[in-house]
């Protein structure tokens, strides 16, 4: 964040350190962050407090938080244009969440589809799971964010963030910037290889479901070769009838930056075996340099600690200022 960047619009986004980042996180989010990073003043967060809304092993959570941050860097996030930090390192996120809770009706939260899905799978539902989108709103508005690049599945949370901002500003006066969602033009929505009707999940440990950014080439190839397809024997983008083939084509298209048409041309007359082999080659070729950079940086654990400390130190004043203005407007600060 150099001086000439202060005129650029602010972008904020984050990923939960709950599992192993997948090619879906890369092609759907990080790759676009990297491609667009020069155009904005960016903040990318590892949202460890969000991960705590479902049970986590403490040691694993700590380690995965560092891993996600290192993967941001390994994928090409440039600290010239971006700050990266861990959510819990800036306590203003938790503090602002409380203030926002007081203006957020429970009904708004109960309507969130992600909450409905996640709570349906649990016997006892933590308050944190319900409150998840309020913490997300705090993340975003603490930094006067203009744009939030997220996948389709987070659009509803962004709308809720906007509702909270409008309500807060109308109750207490102009306090927060109204953020906008930024759905990336080329953001691929990658599905599970074993079940191409559902989003590829980083928290599933089923073999053959996901392609993890740190999977060895052998594992990547095996998962792709075993991916669910169909018996149509036709290479086409048809998410309804050929979800598996479409998913492989989508991965290929996003990785190679080719048009749909060019991809179809390339595979004209080919069988599923060839499609899978080429997808595997493309995935491995893309991930190898990322893995190499990751392992180089991970060799020195002090390195990422330093980066994360600097990231938090750099942006903490922004968050503390916005929190203070909110507190003052609410009557709890002078």
Query: Contact positions toward ligand TRP, by CB under 6 A?
Result: 12-14, 16, 47, 50, 136, 139-140, 148, 150, 154, 157
Q: Which of 118, 222, 277, 328 is catalytic?
A: 118
Whether the CB-CB separation of 196 and 14 falls below 8 Å is answered with no
118 classed as catalytic:
yes
DSSP characters over 14-44: EE--SS--BHHHIIIIIHHHHHHGGGSEEEE
Look up residue 116 and give its two tokens.
Answer: 């409905």
CA 242 – CA 250 distance, rounded (Å): 12
Q: What's the number of CA atoms in the CB half-sphere (13 Å) around residue 330?
A: 17
- In the complex with ligand TRP, which residue's Cβ is closer, 161 or 253? 161
CA 282 – CA 280 distance, rounded (Å): 5
Whether the CB-CB separation of 192 and 180 falls below 8 Å is answered with no
CA 255 – CA 75 distance, rounded (Å): 13
Nearest distance from C-beta of residue 327 to ligand TRP, angstroms: 21
Q: Which of 9, 199, 222, 277 is catalytic?
A: 199
Report the alpha-carbon angle 150-155-157, nearest 5.
100
- In the complex with ligand TRP, which residue's Cβ is closer, 65 or 229? 65
Nearest distance from C-beta of residue 83 to ligand TRP, angstroms: 14
Nearest distance from C-beta of residue 8 to ligand TRP, angstroms: 18
Q: Which of 64, 191, 202, 276 is catalytic?
A: 202
Nearest distance from C-beta of residue 16 to ligand TRP, angstroms: 5
- The CB-nearest residue to ligand TRP is 14
- Residue 199, classed as helix, strand or coil, is strand
Nearest distance from C-beta of residue 61 to ligand TRP, angstroms: 15
Burial classification of residue 132, based on how many CB atoms lie within 10 Å of its CB (0-12 exposed, 13-18 middle, 19 or more buried): buried
- In the complex with ligand TRP, which residue's Cβ is closer, 97 or 329? 97
CA 44 – CA 46 distance, rounded (Å): 7
Nearest distance from C-beta of residue 87 to ligand TRP, angstroms: 7
- In the complex with ligand TRP, which residue's Cβ is closer, 275 or 326? 326
202 classed as catalytic:
yes
Task: Give, rounded to a whole angstrom, the gap between the first and last alpha carbons of the chain.
Answer: 31
- In the complex with ligand TRP, which residue's Cβ is closer, 48 or 194? 48
Q: In sequence order, which ranges of 198-333 are alpha helices (DSSP H)?
A: 217-225, 243-256, 260-266, 272-298, 301-330
- In the complex with ligand TRP, which residue's Cβ is closer, 139 or 194? 139
Catalytic residues: 118, 199, 202
């Amino acid at each position: 964040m150099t001086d000439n960047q202060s005129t650029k619009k602010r972008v904020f986004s984050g990923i939960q350190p709950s599992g192993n980042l997948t090619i879906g996180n890369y092609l759907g989010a990080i790759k676009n962050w990297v491609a667009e990073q020069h155009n904005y003043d960016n903040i990318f967060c590892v949202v460890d407090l969000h991960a705590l809304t479902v049970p986590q092993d403490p040691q694993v959570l700590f380690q995965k938080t560092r891993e996600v941050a290192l993967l941001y860097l390994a994928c090409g996030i440039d600290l010239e244009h971006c700050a990266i930090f861990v959510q819990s390192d800036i306590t203003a996120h938790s503090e602002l969440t409380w203030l926002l809770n007081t203006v957020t009706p429970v009904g708004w939260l109960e309507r969130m589809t992600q909450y409905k899905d996640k709570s349906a799978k649990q016997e006892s539902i933590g308050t944190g799971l319900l409150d998840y989108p309020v913490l997300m709103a705090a993340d975003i508005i603490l930094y006067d964010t203009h744009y939030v690049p997220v996948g389709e599945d987070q659009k509803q949370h962004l709308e809720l963030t906007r509702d909270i901002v409008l309500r807060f500003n109308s109750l207490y006066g102009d306090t927060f910037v109204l953020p906008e969602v930024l759905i990336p033009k080329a953001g691929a929505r990658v599905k599970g290889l074993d079940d191409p009707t559902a989003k590829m999940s980083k928290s599933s440990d089923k073999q053959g479901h996901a392609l993890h950014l740190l999977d060895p080439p052998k594992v990547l190839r095996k998962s792709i070769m075993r991916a669910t397809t169909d018996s149509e024997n036709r290479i086409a983008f048809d998410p309804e009838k050929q979800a598996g083939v479409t998913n492989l084509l989508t991965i290929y298209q996003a990785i190679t930056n080719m048009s749909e048409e060019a991809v179809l041309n390339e595979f004209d007359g080919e069988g599923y075996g060839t499609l899978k082999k080429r997808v595997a080659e493309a995935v491995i070729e893309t991930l190898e340099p990322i893995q190499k950079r990751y392992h180089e940086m991970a060799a020195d654990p002090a390195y990422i600690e330093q980066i994360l400390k600097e990231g938090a130190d750099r942006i903490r004043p922004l968050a503390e200022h916005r929190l203070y203005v909110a507190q003052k407007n609410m009557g709890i600060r002078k």
